[in-house]
Structures are given as C-alpha cells and as structure tokens.
Amino acid sequence: TQLLEQSPQFLSIQEGENLTVYCNSSSVFSSLQWYRQEPGEGPVLLVTVVTGGEVKKLKRLTFQFGDARKDSSLHITAAQPGDTGLYLCAGDSGAGSYQLTFGKGTKLSVIP
Amino acid sequence: EAGVTQFPSHSVIEKGQTVTLRCDPISGHDNLYWYRRVMGKEIKFLLHFVKESKQDESGMPNNRFLAERTGGTYSTLKVQPAELEDSGVYFCASSLNSGLLFFTDTQYFGPGTRLTVL
C-alpha cells in the first residue's frame, strides 16, 4: 500500500511570511499532484509534476518533485490571506492505475 | 462548461438505512472515480469507471457498497445497509481518456456529499 506523509498538518502564519509544505513517501510515483480545497468544495488541481527534480512555479507558489520521485514540496512566498485553505498532495503510481493516493493535507491559515 | 456535480450535498441517515449518492461527470469524460474521506483520514480511492465498465474497484470497503454507471454517463453509489463507519465525505471525480500511455489525465473533483450515519 502506497502512503503519502504530508507535513505539517496545520500551519498558521502571518501575512508576508514564507512557508513550505512537504509530501514524502517510500514509494515511487509516476507523477505527483498538488490540490487546494476550500470548505464545501472538492479539491482543485494546482499543478502536476512528472519528472524527477522538476520545479514548477505558479505565481508565488513553487512546486518541486524529488529526484527519486518519492517526495515533493510546495513553497509559498510572501503568503497572503487568500492563500488560506487545505493543501493536498496526491500521487499517481502509473502503470495503468488511475487511482490517486492522497496525503492527509495541510490546513494553512494566513493571518492578516 | 459545467463541472462535476454531486447530489445530495448532505445526507443524514440512521444506521441500517439505505442511501444513494449521485455523480454527474463533466460531459465527455469517460473516466469516473469515487473517493471517500472519513474524519481524520486521507481521501481514499474507492473505484474507477471507464464509460459503463468498472475498471478498478479495489478500494470498495465491502459488499454493502454498490456503484453503477449505466449508459456511461452519471454514476450512483449506494450504501445498503449503512453503518456508522460509513460517515464521511464522498467525492466523485472525472477525467478525459486521452489514451496516452503512462499519463494520468487530470481528475476534476465534485464538491462532495457529506454522509452522516447516526
């Protein structure tokens, strides 16, 4: 059974601070996705990383996939209150399997 | 374009009753998935349809859960009889079938159905 350990589980920071969320596994994933979920809504895809060592940027968000494709990180620069939400990582094992393995999520609160 | 829709948004039932959840995928999406999140746990895969066929049902907890997708459009997930541990949020997702090997098409999630079994 593949597992994704996501940390921290909760994060409360002041507006303007930087933060990093980690997603780690002992398993190799074909790709890894980061989602953001708002209350009462389903997860919304932010980015997919596919290649080991890949770095993708989405405005103030930087996503990195580990060289061995077992871990990933999400770094937010100068957090804004609008960044508040639940961030989820999810891995795809590939090999014809479409099911996603999710981490438990990181609940981020950015205080104005 | 309409997203994935789910009905109902909330359901409160008593142990032993039956509940049916419905999911309408994005039009044209052959792939349909059911996931569940129970309190304090991660979102977990239940099953995957390609059109009307069950491709992977390895995540279904037990035979009290029955999923159907007649005609390859909307899907239903029936829980009969419901137990306390079935409480949670049930998400449906859909994706295109790009046909590309070793590539997972983006899964678009619905808002979920919150099921409470008392």
What single string gives the DSSP state of each residue in A1-43? ----EEE-SEEEEETT--EEEEEE-SS--SEEEEEEE-TTS--
The predicted pLDDT at position A95 comes to 64
Asked whether the beta carbons of residue A94 and residue B31 sit closer than 8 angstroms, the reply is: no
**How confident is the prediction for chain B on average, in pLDDT?**
92
Split at pLDDT 50, 70, 90, the class of A94 is: confident
Q: Residue B40 and residue A9: Cα distance in Å, rounded?
A: 11
- Give the model's pLDDT for residue B110: 96
pLDDT the model gives residue B105: 76
B42 to chain A, minimum CA–CA distance in Å?
4
In B, which residues are within 8 Å of A45 by CB distance? 106-108
| pLDDT (tens digit per residue) in B40-77 | 899 999 999 999 999 999 999 999 999 999 888 999 99
CA distance B17 to chain A (A): 25
